[in-house]
Every structure is written in structure tokens, then in C-alpha cells.
Amino acid sequence: MKEVFKGTVEVPSKVILFGEHAVVEGYGAISMAVDLKTRGRIFESEKDIVINLRDLGRSLTLNIEDIPTLNLRNYNSSVKYVLCAIKSIVNYLKDRGYEDFKPFKLDISSDIPVSCGLGSSASVVATTIKSFLSANTISIPKKELCKICFSVEREVQGKASITDTATVIYNSVLKIKNSNDFEVLEGTKLYKLLKGCHFLVVHVERRKKKTAELVKEVAEHPRKEEIFRSIGEIVNKVEEVSTWEELGDLMVKNHKLLRELGVSTSKIDKVVELGSRYGYGAKLSGAGGGGVVIILTDEDRREGLLESLRELEVLDVFECKVGVKSEIKRDKK
């Protein structure tokens, strides 16, 4: 029998444009949604909720009645984000009087490389929850959606920041004030400047250390307070920049401070140098120890940059702009 398609949910990924690591100690950071996406394609189902994780080659079949009491310990870690997301949204809605949820089939796929600082898990969690809501024709405020997704990340990881979930859900540019508070910068001078920028997100190399290890090492750095203050000053300056040259210059300055913290690598430094030579500026994004670099490109010198990146044998290169408004596309029938 032919599957009945109901719609597609798309959720972006994120980069930290300024302020990683210092934000852990209460300094500000600037995060930005970019149009590398996770997609959830929704189909009708006769009985159960069936979730196909295309990139993992895994499939889950869930009896709707069993979802509120799912024991995540019985499942492989690779599927816990999705299962915890489904369980959390079902219990959230049941607590508010919703019953009789509809069965559906969900195919999840993603453009986003995992474990490299792009918020892949937050994007998958948000896609799963938004797909469930769409399949049941239920709408909740973004603020509530953000809380639920954050709670999922925290439950699965043990510890989490609001940064990833808030950025991918609001699909915009955010100023992170601390681990639980943020401001959406849409309509600001910085937002308008970033909307006109062209970025490359370069997956340089696989990370050799987990975020928790890197954060612990940074916490023991003898000059961390001095470096964090300097990063905080850059975050405060960036909201007033008006040109790509100024923006790129601050990116490079932020990267140099992260290098002083010891979270960069020689290959990341080479990519940042290329981004500065052929573009307006570049920096690592995320915890470091491998992962990604974001480059603010000069379109006139883009081909030279891409050729140099190929010669350096980076893992992948993605052309990105600030998150585009592509939330839920429903079947028009």
C-alpha cells in the first residue's frame, strides 16, 4: 500500500560565532543558526509510531500506550535522543489533558556531522518533537518547546546548555547571557549584517576529546580569567560592528584567544589562516579539540579558498547562511 505523505519538518544546526568556553563562566556568547538541517518526513501509520533513523540504519516501532513509561536504559545510546524526545513530549501533553495521540511514521535524516559542535543532537531532538506535534496538529509556544528540548538534552547527556536548543528552535542569531538565559537578536544591526554574509562551515577533523574533557582542561588553565575577559570584550564589541571586515577581524581575535586556551589544533589553525587569507576572517566554533571552523568568505576569492581546503584534506565543507525560515511544510491535500 502506498504511504500517505503528511509533511516535512526542518530544523537548522548552529555555530558559536563568538564566546565559546567563556560562556561557561558567565560571559556572553553569540550563537547563530545555519542552514545545515535535520529533516523529518511524516507519513500516516495504521497503528504504531514508527521512526526510521536513516543515517543510522535503525528503525524503532513504538506502541503509543507504552511511550509514557519507556525505560531508556533498555535502548542503545544512538537512539536515546529520539526516544527521550518522544517520551517527553507525550508526557508534557498528557499532563495538559491531551489524549488519543495519532500513530504516524517518521523518517529522520540530517545534513549535520555529529560530535563536532554543530548542535546535531539538539536539531534531531527538535525535529522529533516538532514532527510529533505536527502529526497530531498541536501547537505549543517556542518557549515551551525550548524547555522540553533542553530537558531532553540534559537527561540524555547529564548536563547541557540552553545554547544549542534555543538557537535551532528560534532559528536566528542569539546572545547567550548564561547557561539558562538568552536574547534573540533578530532585527538588530548585527542580525542584518549577518544575514548578508556568506559562510563556509569546514569540518576540519574528528574531535579527539569530548566537550567535558576540554572544559575541564580550560578550567585548569592558569590564564583563563584573563582570556575569558578578553573574549567577553569581543562579544560586547560585535553587536556594534557594521562591516564584514570588522566582523572577520573579531573572529580572528577570538580564535587566537581560544588557541591560547589550548583548544585549537594545528590543522584548525591552518584552516583559520586560510580563511583569513582568502576571506574576511575565521575561527574554530564549539569546544575545539578538532571539529569545525567557520569562515566569513569573500566571494571574489572563494575558489582559491576551496582549492586550498581540498589540498589540506579537510573532512567536508558546507556553504551556509544564517538559518532560513523553513519550519514545517505540510501536505497541501
User: How far is Cα 120 from Cα 140, in angstroms, rounded to an integer?
Assistant: 22
User: How far is Cα 201 from Cα 189, in angstroms, rounded to an integer?
Assistant: 23
DSSP assignment of 14-47 equals EEEEE-TTGGGGT--EEEEEEEEEEEEEEEE-SS
Does the CA dihedral 246-247-250-256 come out positive or negative? negative
Beta carbons within 8 Å of 332's beta carbon, 6+ residues apart: none
DSSP assignment of 58-75 equals EEEEE-GGGGGG--GGGS
Note the residue count of the chain.
Answer: 333
The CA R_g of the chain, rounded to the nearest whole Å, is 20
Q: Which residue, among 290, 300, 302, 108, has the nearest Cα to 209 in the 3D structure?
A: 290
Query: Quick check: helix, strand or coil at residue 90?
Result: helix
User: How far is Cα 42 from Cα 281, in angstroms, rounded to an integer?
Assistant: 40
Query: Quick check: helix, strand or coil at residue 56?
Result: coil
Q: Is 181 a catalytic residue?
A: no
Letter string b/e over residues 6-39, b meaning 16 or more CB atoms within 10 A of that residue's CB: bbbbbbbbbbbbbbbbbbbeebbbbbbbbbbbbb
**How do strand 104-110 and strand 49-53 relate by DSSP bridges?**
parallel
- Among residues 35, 107, 111, 164, the one annotated as catalytic is 164
Which sequence positions are flagged as catalytic?
164
